[in-house]
């Protein structure tokens, strides 16, 4: 018999994994089903996973789904596929999902913030739950009507509808930005604010306003702009062309707007940060691609996705989801410096 005609080797079974890891089949089922915590030690769980990897074991998901009455599929709804932040959220969610033999379907909400329509003939029949990032819960429309477990990421924690919330400490991030700039001596600040009306941007605006309000001689002007480089540039160009003293610092709601602000400053014949400091938010790859590199707030997007998926798994298992906001950190780079003597309008 030629090699092409030889039968394929038999697929490894859970019994094979149990034998290799020196545990029971029930332990293998708990570990590979993601229900081992509190029942099996971390060392045993890792031994089971290692044996499964070495043997190339893959559970029969179709049979398991029939047995559990689940599709083992979660839907991740995001405002846009083009933003690096949401790609990182997806990576985190997908990594945790894979550990539990779940799949994650990525779905962009039309027009950025909604409404998100049901992408399936019946979301209830096709999904076990929904995770939605950085958008208003009411924008989910038909998906909420499907009565599926819903986990909201970077969204209003006061909304009682979702089964769980996972948030970043956005307010603290903007507070860190304000303290950095005010500590450098900046007193004339412009907030280049996202024109998208969502919880996360509202919190940024409120936190910045509070921080500036606490400094008697500081002034803050807010200018809205769409979330793209061109819109940010145009908004800042209007600010710089207006009569009166120029701002010494521009605080941007994200790194994309900050890139536009830097372009506007240079087009006026001014320098960043010598004449005007600029800050971003998110710490996208763009933050280190521009020159000077952006002072910005690092958001742990992968951790947001990871915790969001864990929260959904907890809800499905009837367990409480992990509480507490994820911390964020200001990363100081070359786009901020103490203010110089106020430059005149060119």
Q: Are residues 242 and 222 part of one domain?
A: yes
Ranges 138-147, 232-241, 276-285: which has the least confidence? 138-147
pLDDT band for 273, please (50, 70, 90 cuts). very high
Residue 25 has a pLDDT of 78
Considering the domain architecture, whether residues 135 and 214 belong to the same structural domain is answered as: no
Residue 11 predicted with pLDDT over 80: no
Whether residues 179 and 295 share a domain: the answer is yes
335 lies in some domain = no
Both tokens of 146, joined, read 């499907």
The answer to whether residue 334 is domain-embedded is: no
9-23, 178-192, 317-331: range with lowest mean pLDDT: 9-23
With contact defined as beta carbons under 8 Å apart, do 37 and 316 qualify?
no
Number of domains in the chain: 3
Q: How confident is the model at residue 145 (pLDDT cuts 50, 70, 90)?
A: low
Q: Does the structure show a pLDDT above 70 at 142?
A: no
- Answer whether residue 331 is part of any domain: no
My answer on whether 182 and 258 are in the same domain is yes
The confidence score (pLDDT) of residue 146 equals 59
* Domain enclosing residue 28, as ranges: 3-59
Same domain, 12 and 156: no
Q: Tell whether 206 and 258 lie within a shared domain.
A: yes
CB contact at 8 A, 40 and 5: no
Establish if 330 belongs to a structural domain: no
65 domain residue, yes or no: no
Are 152 and 162 within one domain?
yes
Asked if residue 267 and residue 195 are part of one domain, the reply reads yes
Each residue of 179-194: pLDDT tens digit? 999 999 999 999 999 9
* Mean pLDDT on 250-257: 97
| pLDDT bracket for residue 120 (50, 70, 90) | low
Same domain, 50 and 83: no
Q: 185 and 141, same structural domain? A: no
The reported pLDDT for the residue numbered 68 is: 44
Contact 285, 84 (CB under 8 A): yes
On whether the CB atoms of residues 76 and 89 are closer than 8 A, the answer is yes
The CATH number of the domain holding residue 152 is 3.40.50.2300
Asked whether residue 150 carries a pLDDT value surpassing 70, the answer given is yes
Token couple for 142? 């038909």
In a domain, 341, yes or no: no
78 in the same domain as 174: no
Mean pLDDT of 54-78: 67
> What does the buried/exposed string (b/e) look like for 258-275 if buried means 16 or more CB atoms within 10 Å of the residue's CB?
bbbbbbbbeebebebbeb
pLDDT score of 189 = 98
Per-residue pLDDT band for 116 (boundaries 50, 70, 90) equals low
Q: For residue 312, which of 160, 68, 93 has the smallest C-alpha distance?
A: 93
What pTM was estimated for this model as a whole? 0.76
Residues 159 and 308 occupy one common structural domain: yes
Residues in a beta bridge with 132: 77, 152
Residue 183 in domain? yes
Is 332 part of a structural domain of the chain?
no
Mean pLDDT of 47-59: 84
């Amino acid at each position: 018999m030629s090699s092409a005609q030889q039968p394929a080797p038999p697929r490894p079974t859970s019994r094979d994994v149990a034998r290799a890891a020196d545990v029971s089949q029930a332990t293998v089922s708990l570990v590979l089903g993601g229900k081992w915590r509190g029942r099996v030690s971390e060392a045993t769980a890792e031994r089971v996973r290692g044996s499964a990897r070495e043997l190339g074991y893959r559970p029969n998901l179709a049979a398991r789904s029939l047995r559990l009455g689940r599709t083992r599929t979660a839907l991740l709804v995001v405002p846009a596929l083009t933003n690096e932040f949401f790609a990182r959220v997806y990576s985190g969610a997908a990594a945790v999902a894979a550990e539990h033999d779940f799949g994650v379907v990525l779905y962009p909400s039309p027009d950025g913030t909604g409404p998100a329509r049901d992408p399936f003939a019946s979301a209830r029949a096709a999904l076990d739950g929904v995770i939605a990032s950085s958008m208003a819960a009411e924008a989910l429309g038909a998906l909420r009507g499907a009565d599926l477990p819903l986990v909201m990421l970077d969204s209003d924690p006061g909304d009682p509808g979702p089964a769980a919330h996972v948030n970043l400490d956005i307010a603290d991030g903007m507070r860190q930005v304000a303290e950095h700039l005010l500590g450098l001596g900046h007193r004339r600040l412009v907030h280049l604010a996202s024109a998208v009306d969502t919880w996360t941007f509202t919190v940024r605006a409120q936190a910045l306003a509070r921080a500036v309000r606490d400094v008697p001689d500081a002034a803050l002007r807010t200018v809205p702009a769409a979330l793209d480089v061109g819109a940010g540039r145009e908004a800042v160009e209007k600010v710089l062309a207006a009569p009166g003293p120029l701002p010494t610092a521009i605080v941007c709601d994200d790194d994309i707007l900050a890139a536009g602000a830097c372009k506007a400053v240079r087009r006026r014949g001014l320098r960043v940060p010598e004449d005007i400091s600029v800050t971003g938010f998110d710490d996208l790859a763009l933050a280190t691609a521009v020159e000077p590199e952006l002072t910005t707030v690092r958001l742990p997007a992968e951790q947001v996705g990871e915790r969001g998926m864990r929260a959904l798994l907890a809800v499905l298992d009837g367990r409480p989801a992990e509480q507490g906001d994820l911390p964020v950190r200001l990363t100081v780079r070359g786009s901020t410096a103490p203010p110089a003597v106020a430059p005149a309008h060119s």
